[in-house]
Structure 1
C-alpha cells in the first residue's frame, strides 16, 4: 500500500527522473536510507518500470505525428503474432493499443515527413492484413505528459 511519501517520491521522479537521492529525501522530508528503500520497493513492485530521458522529436527530425486507426477481420493467434512482430520491429511506432469498439487497433507513429510515413504505411499493409487503415496527422500538440495520475493510488 502506497502512502503520501511514496506518492510524493513518484511525483518528483515523474517530473525529473534525474533527481538525486539527496534532493528527493530533502523534498519529501525523509532521510536518504528510508527514501532509497522506498524507491527500491517501488521499482521491485513494478510501479517504477524504468527511468528514461524524454527526447524532442522535432530536434531529431521525427516531428510528424500520425495516429493510425486499424480494423481487421482476422483475430487468430497467428495473425496477432505477425502484427505484434511488425509493431515491435518498427521503431516509428511509439505506442500501440488494441481497442474495444469500431477500431480494432490504434498506433501512434513518429516519422520525419509524409514520404517517410508512406514508406511506413507500405510496410504496414504488406506485413499485416488489415481491412481498413485510416491515418490522422497531428497538426498541433495541445497537451503532452508522461506523468501518470497519482490521485487514484
Structure 2
C-alpha cells in the first residue's frame, strides 16, 4: 500500500492539471527543492500512483465529434465469454472507456467517432465479433463537464503527520 502525505497530494494535484510543468516549478509550488520533488514524482510513478503522462486532445480538431454511450446486456456470464468480449473490445480504438456494471446493464462503453455513419460501422463490427443479448446506444448532445483529474479529497491524511495510505 502506498503512503502519501500532503506534499504528495499537492504534487499530484499540480500534475493532474499540467504534467508539463518543470520539476523546479512544481517543487516551488509545494515548498521543495528540485531534487526532492523529482524523487517524490519518481516514487509516485514507481508505485503506480502516477500511471502515465499524456496529452489531451481536442476531439473536434481530430474529427472525433460524436460520443456514444453503449449499454450492453448479455445472457452469457462466464469468464471465458468475458475474456473473449474484453479482447474484442480492446481491438476497437473508438472505445475509449469500458466498464463492467452492476444493475440492469452488464457493460458500458464510451465510444468516440467522427459521425453517426462511423458509429454504424463500429456497431456492425462489434456485433460481428461478439454475441450479445442487447445493445442500446445513447448519443451525447453536449459535453457539459469533462475532466481527467481525479478528486484527491478522498486520500485520508493522518492529522498529526500529514501522512496517508492509498
Common fold, TM-score beyond 0.5?
yes
Residue matched to 1:53? 55
Residues 24-60 of structure 1, C-alpha deviation per residue, up to 9 Å, x if partnerless? Answer: 0111110111111110111111100000000111110
Residue matched to 2:112? 110
User: What residue ranges of structure 2 are gaps of 5+ in the alignment?
Assistant: 156-166
Residue matched to 1:65? 67
Selected match of 2:30 from 28, 31, 37: 28
The number of aligned residues is 153
User: What residue ranges of structure 1 are gaps of 5+ in the alignment?
Assistant: none
Report if the CA contact (8 A) 1:68-1:134 is conserved: yes
Report if the CA contact (8 A) 1:82-1:127 is conserved: no
- Quote the offset at 1:82 in angstroms: 1.7
**What CA distance in whole angstroms lies between the structure 2 residues aligned with 1:65 and 1:86?**
20
Report if the CA contact (8 A) 1:7-1:150 is conserved: yes
Give the alignment's TM-score, normalised by structure 1.
0.98
- With a CA cutoff of 8 Å and minimum separation of 6, indicate the structure with the bigger relative contact order: 2
Give the alignment's TM-score, normalised by structure 2.
0.90
- Quote the offset at 1:128 in angstroms: 1.1
Which stretches of structure 1, 4 residues or more, deviate above 3 A after TM superposition? none
